[in-house]
Chain A
Amino acid sequence: MATSKVEGSSSLRHAFGGVLSVFILLLIGVVAFSIRLFSVIKYESVIHEFDPYFNYRVTQFLSKNGIYDFWNWFDDRTWYPLGRVIGGTVYPGLTLTAGTMWKLANSLNIPLSVETVCVFTAPIFSAFAAWATYLLTKEVKGTGAGITAAAILAMVPSYISRSVAGSYDNEAVAIFALIFTFYLYIKTLNTGSLFYATLNSLAYFYMVCSWGGYTFIINLIPMHVLLCIVTGRYSSRLYIAYAPLVVLGTLLAALVPVVGFNAVMTSEHFGSFLVFIIIHVVALVYYIKGILTPRLFKVATTLVLTVGIAVCAVVVAILVALVASSPTKGWSGRSLSLLDPTYASKYIPIIASVSEHQPPTWPSYFMDINVLAFLVPAGIVACFLPLSDASSFAVLYLVTSVYFSGVMVRLMLVLAPAACIMSGIALSEAFGVLTRSMKFHITKYFECSHTEAPAKLGESTSTESSAPLENMTKSDTTEKPEVARKEKVARRKQKKEKELTENAHVKPVSAKKEKRPLVLPLEASIVSVFLLIVLGGLYVLHCVWAAAEAYSAPSIVLTSHSHDGLHVFDDFREAYAWLRHNTEVDDKVASWWDYGYQTTAMANRTVIVDNNTWNNTHIATVGTAMSSPEKAAWEIFNSLDVKYVLVVFGGLVGYPSDDINKFLWMVRIGGGVFPHIKEADYLKDGQYRVDAQATHTMLNCLMYKLSYYRFVETDGKGFDRVRRYEIGKKHFKLTHFEEVFTTHHWMVRIYKLKPQKNRIRGKSRKSKLGSKSTSSKSGGMTHKNPWN
């Protein structure tokens, strides 16, 4: 009877543990999904920012026209008159994912709109990413660390900033793909199974489909392989984990149109091929070592080394020559700016002009990963105790991503999972140690009371009545389950510890003996556990705050809280809706490239440049037009067949990221291609300003005029609330453009190019005509009666 009970309870305990961890993971998924819904609750279910609008538009096209049309899609609504081959220049992973989800829902007759699917893709994939983190960390340091890391990743602000509901961007699915690829790599490394190796290549393929950041994977994994080889950790498992990935992965990557032959031709991928050769050489060496006697092997080594080095030198020389012959050394601009942080600002202003390509500041680390920054070092230490293949990978991942995040604020996103994994390991190890020592003390305490009890009883054998004794035994039995419960928790932790040590192939006995001295005093461990919980609580509070306040704004709708309640600035959509309904379908709209994607998606009008920024000259042309005087600008725009010009102006309501603030980039990019635009002409003593001291060129350029046209009439002074001074030139007329629409808060102003005037000979007639055209407005009121 008793035995069966014991047996039942232990298996029940395991089942309970399994169910509990599944349940916890489920809840983590729910948290990851729901913490990202603040944007929907506080604002609305809408696509955010700039790039997501393009992805949304592509998804709409995909869902309407099908996959084949999607691959062949030539988009004539953008980059007029060049157009853009969307199918060949877009990372299709995100679009195909959302399109598939939409199709699946619709085939089950669940009427979801494409927009809804797109809005919720990112939160769904964050839940997947949290689960992938669990799997990865579990492979590295066991289940406990896995669950902790998953919980941390589910709400890390850095990732939230890119994956709130509506943030329908590549990163949303790419982070999941990244972590999952790493998981499969580690899994293959731990098991040596070809099955996982194949899955790994497929996951890598998905990553290549989704994001340009796949180069991070194809460089990090070779680095790790190299590290393993150098530290003498080569094994057949490593070979299986790496070789199929390179071959299959490269073949699959070349299938994605946007990558194509880049998968074998650009420098980003060369590292992986080099390591591929090295691992084969190493494999060969190990094989030969196995069949030869040690002496023969020594002879063979020297022979091979001399020949091998010679061959390698030749190959490297050829490679270097090939690479050096291309101007960018075979690297794409973005990758180069990663390797050399000053590269972009020197040569490619268009990359430097994007705010997310700037290096981050220290506060942004605290904002984006918060307490993880302090936990990470502890995690690294834990990874070295003991160092396994998997944990060395985790450390390497962290170190490289810290570097990249230091170069570009956007890549903070790659750091976040690494930081989460490390912190998860650190927290779980710390809890393990602390609860173990607590358990030790508590069990010791109870053992003592047990041994004392019979002794005391022995003293007072039959003299006393049995009632208090029964009480004693009763209390004993009631205490037992409590202890057991505590022990369960502690044991679970302990189990993980053991699993880890097993993974590291350390004899459990010796590990146990080592652990003995690791017991901390009871008070210290209770306080530490309490402090760790407080730390975790602070992190959760910060994450919720960040999700709710900092990262949930969709940026196309702005709100401000004033004393009379919430005020909504919906000017962008007002302007886009106006363009959509009240201009001709084929009209071309010129604006700075930031608004290109939104204009094509929301207004459905052809734009000259958009956020894809693939043609620097074209952008420079628009930049030049914006920084030229009216007549020259009109000519440029007219030559591009532009009918409307759209500018964003924040001076009335104090919206800081308007075109006047971005204007210097237009000048720089324009001047980079058309040298007659000189940045110095727009700066007064090296300072950028639009007030009375501004230069003549500045006050007469198109951007200034379009932004401030009739602005002075709002308050009589022309006080710009963003720049906080009165503007330089207040009263002026437009000769080549006319205002056709300005939104409620003046944030978007749309102008139409005036038609070309008839050629008129002689100046006197021209002036006459001018007076006539102005007077015709006032004379328009006196209409003739048509029925006379």
Chain B
Amino acid sequence: MDRRLQFAFVLLCLGLLSSTARSDLVVSKAERLVDLNSHIVRVLSKLKVENEGPDDVSEVLLALPDAQAKNLAAIRTFYSDGKLGFVLPTEPIEPKGMPSDVTYYSIALPKKLGKGKTVSLDVLSIFTRSLKPFPEEITQAESQLVVYTDNMYYTSPYPVKYQSLVFRLPGRVESYTKYPKVELVKSELRYGPFEMQPAFSYSPVVVHFENNNPFAVANELVREIEISHWGNVRVTEQYTISHGGASLKNGFSRIEYQARPYMRGASSFRVLIAKLPARAHSVYYRDEIGNISTSHLWDDSQRTQLEIEPRFPIFGGWKTTFTIGYSLPLHDFLFEADGGKRVLNMTFGCPLDEVLVEKHIVKVVLPEGSKDITVATLFPTKQSEDVKYSHLDILGRPVVVLEKDNVVPEHNLYFQVYYKFNNISLLSEPMMLIVGIFLLFVACIVYMHTDLAISKTSSSYLEKLQWEEVQATVQHIKNIFDQYLAAHDKLESSLRDLSRSGDVQSCKAARKAADAQFKELAKELKPLLTFLQSCSQASSILPKIEELVTKEKEMQEKEMAKHTTVVDCFEKKLGGKDIESRIASQQQKLTSLKQEVESLLDSISEI
């Protein structure tokens, strides 16, 4: 209290001193509207500035006491020239010969203000952490009371002719600084009007009132925007949220909270609402221990609204962390710019309603191979660069990191990232995969076809070689038997032809051919069999093959016998039934033999 008075006194003295120094500008009217509804304080000052001096003026100075200036999150000046409204640049400066406990901002006017002319300016300044909870600890059942302190007069380096101050309050008022010119109407507390105040007039005003609106503070928010040129922008937001109001004492009682949530636990907040861009999809909401199931998503063509509930209601001093992620269609945010560049146009701030972000980090992950990266923002941020390795990257993806402290919803403006990117680089990763898999197969082929034996004379190696030879021989034998079977089939078909056409000659010819083939095959078979007999490793298959040979011989004989019978019969012009009865027994034996031979062949091929 002493300090504040001291400060006021200093200001007053300084004000008296400097009022003469810059007397050419005068604030003819200053109406201030202080919105105390949320925990972010918005002060809208409607100023009319008049030039009473002889010279033209191109800049107007604003002043904020240092105590307030350190909580300032944003300041913006709106100017309207009748038709168009635009924002004037407002920069902090340090003018000479001015009181030093005050921070100054200069507004550059669009055109010089001539003598006797006035200009209307709307200055919106946004303060954070200006509502101090009092008492600092409350129980669950109590409402949260906060204190707001301000200057009753408009702090200005110029004299103010006429001014007023209005506080817009969310609820009950516990107490406020009494003053003759004050009235409390519903939820508005009005001070003034005051007339003819010198520059740097100061008189403290304190409002102590109930504010149960969520004091949601994100201690840190890391917003990662990852661009994929396959058509997707993925946004991941990691929050550390805490309740910035009066902290809870005496524990939390669920029974009281459940019985009357709005009375018992009024100061807490349970729900946060995030306004995501339109066509956001694949939305998730989770924390480090898994999915959080309490969330709702509404979406229409204009925007997507996500209502999230943290795992537990957040009371004063409590904290929680969570992650929201969503994907956006690329064509809504990425555009072609001049000079072959691409430009990403995204909002900077946090999509949650009325959340103050103490430390806001935006990371824009550009695709691998992006070059010439530049960033354009509407307010100063700390910029740095980084590299992120993700999905099969080799060089890594360039990351633009933007940092800003004290981000309020008013910072939710668009910013642009310009970069150059060649579409060919898109194919590099699929190509890498293809080449990788191809090489894998090549390696397999090479492995299968190379001889990795260390010693070429070792017994196991020789055995292996011999075994391979045996296998080749067996395969050869198998082929020969297949030919045998084919020859048999030919004979059979010649018989069938005979029965159809009665052409005995062609049938005989077929038989001759078959005889020749059988002989040839037998010749071919002999050396193979002798080789197998000489091989020790073939001992397991040899009996089978020998059996096969005998079976096949038998079959040949039977086949020949059958053939001769049928041909004889035909030559004797016997009836079909006769032939059938004659060959019936032979036929049966033949089929059974054939089956046996076939199954033997199968078993041999299985070695």
- Whether the pair A3, B486 counts as a contact (CB closer than 8 A) is yes
- Whether the pair A576, B289 counts as a contact (CB closer than 8 A) is yes
Q: How far is the CA of A6 from the CA of B135 in the complex (A)?
A: 97
- Whether the pair A495, B603 counts as a contact (CB closer than 8 A) is yes
* 0/1 interface trace, chain B 538-572, chain A, CB 8 Å (1 if under): 00100110010000000000000000000000000
Q: How far is the CA of A581 from the CA of B319 in the complex (A)?
A: 6
Q: How far is the CA of A461 from the CA of B504 in the complex (A)?
A: 14
**B interface residue count range (under 10 / 10 to 19 / 20 to 34 / 35 or more):** 35 or more
- Whether the pair A568, B293 counts as a contact (CB closer than 8 A) is yes
Contact status of A739 and B499, CB under 8 A, knowing A10-B605, A786-B134? no
- Give chain B residues whose Cβ lies under 8 Å from the Cβ of A785: 174-175, 208
| A582 sits at the interface (CB 8 A) | yes
- Give chain A residues whose Cβ lies under 8 Å from the Cβ of B391: 109-111
- Give chain A residues whose Cβ lies under 8 Å from the Cβ of B580: 451, 455, 458
Shortest distance in angstroms between A192's beta carbon and chain B's nearest beta carbon?
A: 12
- Whether the pair B603, A455 counts as a contact (CB closer than 8 A) is no
- Whether the pair A783, B145 counts as a contact (CB closer than 8 A) is yes
- Whether the pair A738, B312 counts as a contact (CB closer than 8 A) is no
Shortest distance in angstroms between A741's beta carbon and chain B's nearest beta carbon?
A: 5
- Whether the pair B253, A3 counts as a contact (CB closer than 8 A) is no
Q: How far is the CA of A46 from the CA of B293 in the complex (A)?
A: 13
| B254 sits at the interface (CB 8 A) | yes
- Whether the pair B392, A109 counts as a contact (CB closer than 8 A) is yes
Q: How many A residues touch B, CB cutoff 8 Å?
A: 68
| B185 sits at the interface (CB 8 A) | no
User: Which one of A447, A714, A738 has the highest number of Cβ atoms from chain B below 10 Å of its Cβ?
Assistant: A447
- Give chain A residues whose Cβ lies under 8 Å from the Cβ of B483: 2-3, 6
| Interface residue ranges of A628-659 to B (CB < 8 Å) | none
Shortest distance in angstroms between A679's beta carbon and chain B's nearest beta carbon?
A: 32
- Give chain A residues whose Cβ lies under 8 Å from the Cβ of B1: 787
| B527 sits at the interface (CB 8 A) | no
- Give chain B residues whose Cβ lies under 8 Å from the Cβ of A739: 251-253
- Whether the pair B576, A577 counts as a contact (CB closer than 8 A) is no
Shortest distance in angstroms between A5's beta carbon and chain B's nearest beta carbon?
A: 9
- Whether the pair B579, A455 counts as a contact (CB closer than 8 A) is yes
| A762 sits at the interface (CB 8 A) | no
- Whether the pair B290, A44 counts as a contact (CB closer than 8 A) is yes
- Give chain B residues whose Cβ lies under 8 Å from the Cβ of A710: 253, 255
| B259 sits at the interface (CB 8 A) | yes
User: Which one of A454, A457, A461, A742 has the highest number of Cβ atoms from chain B below 10 Å of its Cβ?
Assistant: A454
Q: How far is the CA of A97 from the CA of B255 in the complex (A)?
A: 46
| Interface residue ranges of A489-529 to B (CB < 8 Å) | 491, 494-495, 498-499, 502, 507-509, 512
* 0/1 interface trace, chain B 311-339, chain A, CB 8 Å (1 if under): 11000011111000000000000000000
- Whether the pair B602, A447 counts as a contact (CB closer than 8 A) is no
- Whether the pair A746, B603 counts as a contact (CB closer than 8 A) is no
- Whether the pair B319, A582 counts as a contact (CB closer than 8 A) is yes
* 0/1 interface trace, chain B 130-147, chain A, CB 8 Å (1 if under): 000011001100100101
- Whether the pair A2, B486 counts as a contact (CB closer than 8 A) is yes
- Whether the pair B255, A714 counts as a contact (CB closer than 8 A) is yes
| B58 sits at the interface (CB 8 A) | no
| B303 sits at the interface (CB 8 A) | no
- Give chain A residues whose Cβ lies under 8 Å from the Cβ of B258: 714
- Give chain A residues whose Cβ lies under 8 Å from the Cβ of B587: 451
| A586 sits at the interface (CB 8 A) | no
Q: How far is the CA of A556 from the CA of B311 in the complex (A)?
A: 14
- Whether the pair A577, B319 counts as a contact (CB closer than 8 A) is no
Nearest A residue to B284 via CB reads: A44
- Give chain B residues whose Cβ lies under 8 Å from the Cβ of A507: 543
* 0/1 interface trace, chain A 689-731, chain B, CB 8 Å (1 if under): 0000000000000000000001001100000000000000000
Q: How far is the CA of A108 from the CA of B508 in the complex (A)?
A: 73
Shortest distance in angstroms between A590's beta carbon and chain B's nearest beta carbon?
A: 17
- Whether the pair A111, B390 counts as a contact (CB closer than 8 A) is yes
* 0/1 interface trace, chain B 174-215, chain A, CB 8 Å (1 if under): 110100000000000000000000000000001010000000
Q: How far is the CA of A135 from the CA of B391 in the complex (A)?
A: 35
| Interface residue ranges of B275-296 to A (CB < 8 Å) | 287, 289-294
| A587 sits at the interface (CB 8 A) | no
- Whether the pair B482, A6 counts as a contact (CB closer than 8 A) is yes
| A14 sits at the interface (CB 8 A) | yes
- Whether the pair A10, B142 counts as a contact (CB closer than 8 A) is no
| Interface residue ranges of A763-788 to B (CB < 8 Å) | 777, 780-781, 783, 785-787
* 0/1 interface trace, chain A 722-754, chain B, CB 8 Å (1 if under): 000000000000000011111110100000100
Shortest distance in angstroms between A38's beta carbon and chain B's nearest beta carbon?
A: 16
Contact status of A10 and B603, CB under 8 A, knowing A46-B290, A740-B252, A741-B251? no
- Give chain B residues whose Cβ lies under 8 Å from the Cβ of A10: 478, 482, 605
- Whether the pair A741, B606 counts as a contact (CB closer than 8 A) is no
- Give chain B residues whose Cβ lies under 8 Å from the Cβ of A573: 289-290, 311
| A602 sits at the interface (CB 8 A) | yes
- Whether the pair B253, A454 counts as a contact (CB closer than 8 A) is no
Q: How far is the CA of A738 from the CA of B540 in the complex (A)?
A: 84
| B393 sits at the interface (CB 8 A) | yes
- Whether the pair B502, A462 counts as a contact (CB closer than 8 A) is yes
- Give chain B residues whose Cβ lies under 8 Å from the Cβ of A443: 595
- Whether the pair A508, B499 counts as a contact (CB closer than 8 A) is no
Q: How far is the CA of A318 from the CA of B475 in the complex (A)?
A: 62
| Interface residue ranges of A540-589 to B (CB < 8 Å) | 556-557, 568, 570, 573-574, 576-578, 580-582
| Interface residue ranges of A430-472 to B (CB < 8 Å) | 443, 447, 451, 454-462, 469
| A340 sits at the interface (CB 8 A) | no
- Whether the pair B291, A44 counts as a contact (CB closer than 8 A) is yes
Nearest A residue to B249 via CB reads: A780
- Whether the pair B392, A108 counts as a contact (CB closer than 8 A) is yes
Shortest distance in angstroms between A183's beta carbon and chain B's nearest beta carbon?
A: 22
Shortest distance in angstroms between B147's beta carbon and chain A's nearest beta carbon?
A: 8
- Give chain A residues whose Cβ lies under 8 Å from the Cβ of B177: 787
Nearest B residue to A777 via CB reads: B139
Q: How far is the CA of A502 from the CA of B547 in the complex (A)?
A: 16
Q: How far is the CA of A574 from the CA of B290 in the complex (A)?
A: 11
- Whether the pair B312, A577 counts as a contact (CB closer than 8 A) is yes
Nearest B residue to A567 via CB reads: B293
- Give chain B residues whose Cβ lies under 8 Å from the Cβ of A781: 142
- Give chain A residues whose Cβ lies under 8 Å from the Cβ of B174: 783, 785
Q: How far is the CA of A435 from the CA of B544 in the complex (A)?
A: 24
- Whether the pair A455, B577 counts as a contact (CB closer than 8 A) is yes
Q: How far is the CA of A665 from the CA of B593 in the complex (A)?
A: 75
User: Which one of B290, B391, B495 has the highest number of Cβ atoms from chain A below 10 Å of its Cβ?
Assistant: B290
Q: How far is the CA of A752 from the CA of B248 in the complex (A)?
A: 14
A-B contact pairs, 25 of them (CB 8 A): A2-B486, A6-B479, A6-B486, A110-B391, A111-B390, A443-B595, A447-B591, A451-B580, A454-B495, A454-B499, A455-B580, A459-B576, A570-B311, A573-B311, A581-B318, A602-B289, A710-B253, A741-B312, A744-B254, A777-B139, A780-B138, A783-B145, A785-B175, A786-B134, A787-B175
Give 18 A-B pairs besides A10-B605, A46-B290 with Cβ atoms closer than 8 angstroms. Answer: A6-B482, A46-B291, A111-B389, A111-B391, A455-B580, A458-B575, A461-B500, A462-B502, A469-B500, A495-B603, A508-B603, A574-B311, A577-B312, A581-B318, A581-B319, A582-B317, A740-B252, A780-B138
* Chain A interface (Cβ < 8 Å from any Cβ of B): 2-3, 6-7, 10, 14, 44-46, 108-111, 443, 447, 451, 454-462, 469, 491, 494-495, 498-499, 502, 507-509, 512, 556-557, 568, 570, 573-574, 576-578, 580-582, 602, 710, 713-714, 738-744, 746, 752, 777, 780-781, 783, 785-787
Closest 9 CB pairs of A and B: A458-B576, A742-B254, A740-B251, A459-B576, A455-B580, A46-B290, A6-B482, A44-B291, A3-B483
